[in-house]
Amino acid sequence: MKANNPRFRSHCPINVTQELVGDRWSLLIIRDILFARKTHYGEFLTSAERISTNILADRLEKLERHGILSKTRETENRSRYRYVLTQKGQDLLPMLLEMIIWGARHDPETAAPAEFVEQLTQHRADFMRQVLAAVE
C-alpha cells in the first residue's frame, strides 16, 4: 500500500519530474507564482493560456497534495486563499529557467525579453541564486 506514493512508470528522475509537473498546466501555474507574483485563484485565470476554472482547481489541489505549493487562508477575508510555493516548488526554478532559455532560443516569436534570456544564459547558476533571493 503506497497510498501517498504515486505509482510511477519508472523511478527515472526525469520521468518522475514529468509525471509530477509534466501536465499541460502545472508549470504555468508555478510560473505565474514565481515570475508574475500571482497568489490568488482569480489571477491564474487571467493568464494568456486561459485555464478553465475546474482544471485550475484540480491542479491547485494536486500541486498541494504533492507538496509543491501550500494554500493558506487570508486573515482578513475568510473565503480567500493564498497560494505559495513550498521549498519543493521553489526548487523547480532552475528547471523553469532552462525551459525559458531553450524555448526562447528556438522560438522566433518568443515572448521572452531578449535581455533577460541573454543574461540568464550567461550567468546560469549564479543568476539562479540571484533570482531566488529576489523572489524570497
18 binds, among a second copy, DNA, none (CB under 5 to 8 A by kind): a second copy
Residue 87 in grid coordinates: 521549498
Three-state secondary structure string covering the chain? CCCCCCCCCCCCHHHHHHHHHCCCCHHHHHHHHHHCCCCCHHHHHCCCCCCCHHHHHHHHHHHHHCCCEEEEECCCCCCCEEEEECHHHHCCHHHHHHHHHHHHHCCCCCCCCHHHHHHHHHHCHHHHHHHHHHHC
Among DNA, a second copy, none, residue 81 binds (CB under 5-8 Å by kind): DNA
Q: Is 75 in the site for DNA (CB under 7 A)?
A: no
Could you tell me which residues are beta bridge partners of residue 70?
A: 84
Q: Which of 1, 3, 9, 136 binds a second copy (CB under 8 A)?
A: 9
The single residue among 12, 40, 118, 135 that binds DNA, judged by CB under 7 A, is: 40
Can residue 42 be called a binding residue for DNA (CB under 7 A)? yes
- By CB under 8 A, residue 15 contacts a second copy: yes
Binding residues for a second copy (CB under 8 A): 5, 8-18, 20, 22, 24, 27-28, 31, 48-50, 88, 91-92, 94-96, 98-107, 109-112, 117, 124-125, 128
Binding residues for DNA (CB under 7 A): 23-25, 40-43, 50-55, 57, 60-61, 71, 79-81
